[in-house]
Amino acid sequence: MNTHWFSRVLASRWLVVAAAGLLGLQLGAGGALAQSESSLSAEQKKKLKKELQQTYKEGAQAGNKENYEVAATRFEESVQLAQKLGLSDLVSKIENNLAESLRGAGSAALKQENYEDALSHFNALGEYTDTDPTAQYNQGLALINMEDSTEAGLQSLRRAIEIGNEVGNTRVAGLATERIQDEFLARASKALQGDNPSQARIDEALGALDQMTEYVDPNANAMFYRGTALYESGQYQQAVQAARQGLDLHQGSRTDAAKFHFVIAESQIELGDKASACQTFENAAYGDYEARANHYLENECDDV
């Protein structure tokens, strides 16, 4: 066979990945050919090679234009043609380009909030890689935004964390962790909205925070909501403990830390420790909690 038949394909960033392998293949080496290829006539081989050249070129052109769905379709056709020709080494190289196309198509669909299409692309991508935490992460994002797919999305995000830690991609593992935390924090926050939440809503918030721990460790905000829920249910000592754990985890500004101090101070008031509460309110008098903390300081702490 002619070992340079593919060299005329358009040079592009997509072709850089596979070009060296494509041009370096010893197409005439019998060991590299599948059994089906040996049954093809010379004319059939010539036709298939021409089709492969064209589909790969079209895939590369589409990829360069960020038309990833078209690129994926063309590269899929290229894979099938390479398989018919028995070019197993070439198949794996084209599949690398196919995977990049599917990743690009899925990311574009996510950005457009077209979650079903995004999921389809990332599911297909999973057939070509099982060590890419980004694929699992994006699959999880798609699922978690689809109706009745939240649990499946959380499972995908947890898998992204596992793979990310295994391959050393701590960035994606961290993003997946934050997204899982955000899911349960949103549930807890919604349950605790408004003044004097019912015990049923308090239990709902605590249940969401407990469920979070089945997937990831709680963060500072999780401990804030836990402290708030415990305060609302009259478990003041436990509320203080939770809020203090949140402070230990907290890495933000003094303004952001005010909410933890406020929960602690209100709980200390209810526990009868007015002196400690008034000192704690001083640390709570920032940002969104400034007015409420100052109200306590002016009305409850003037004689301390």
Task: Write the pLDDT tens digit of every residue in 77-94.
Answer: 999 999 999 998 899 899
Residue 32's pLDDT is what?
44
* Residue 133, phi then psi, degrees to nearest 5: -65, -25
**Region 114-129 average pLDDT:** 92
Residue 303 has pLDDT above 90, yes or no: no
Residue 215 has pLDDT above 70, yes or no: yes
Residue 8 has pLDDT above 70, yes or no: no
State the Cα torsion 280-281-284-285 to the nearest 10°.
-140
Residue 242 has pLDDT above 80, yes or no: yes
Residue 277's pLDDT is what?
97
Contacts of 220 (CB under 8 A, 6+ apart): 246, 247, 249, 250, 251, 252, 260
* pLDDT-based confidence at residue 127 (cuts at 50, 70, 90): confident
The residue among 285 and 7 whose pLDDT is bigger is 285
One-letter identity of residue 8: R
Tokens of 205: 């918030």
Task: Write the pLDDT tens digit of every residue in 165-203.
Answer: 999 999 999 999 999 999 999 999 999 998 899 999 999
CA distance 212 to 181: 7
Tokens of 41: 């006539």
Residue 37's pLDDT is what?
55
**Region 7-11 average pLDDT:** 32
**Region 95-122 average pLDDT:** 94
The answer to whether 122 touches 106, Cβ cutoff 8 Å, is: yes
CA distance 149 to 118: 14
Residue 257 has pLDDT above 80, yes or no: yes
Residue 17 has pLDDT above 70, yes or no: no
Residue 302's pLDDT is what?
76
Task: Write the pLDDT tens digit of every residue in 30-67.
Answer: 334 444 556 888 888 899 999 999 999 999 999 999 99
Mean of the per-residue pLDDT values for the chain?
88
The residue among 119 and 28 whose pLDDT is bigger is 119
User: Per residue in 76-108, is it b (16+ CB within 10 Å) or e — as a string?
Assistant: bbbbbbbbbbbbeebbebbbbbbbbbbbbbbbb
CA distance 246 to 77: 54
* pLDDT-based confidence at residue 112 (cuts at 50, 70, 90): very high
The answer to whether 83 touches 75, Cβ cutoff 8 Å, is: no
pTM value > 0.85: no
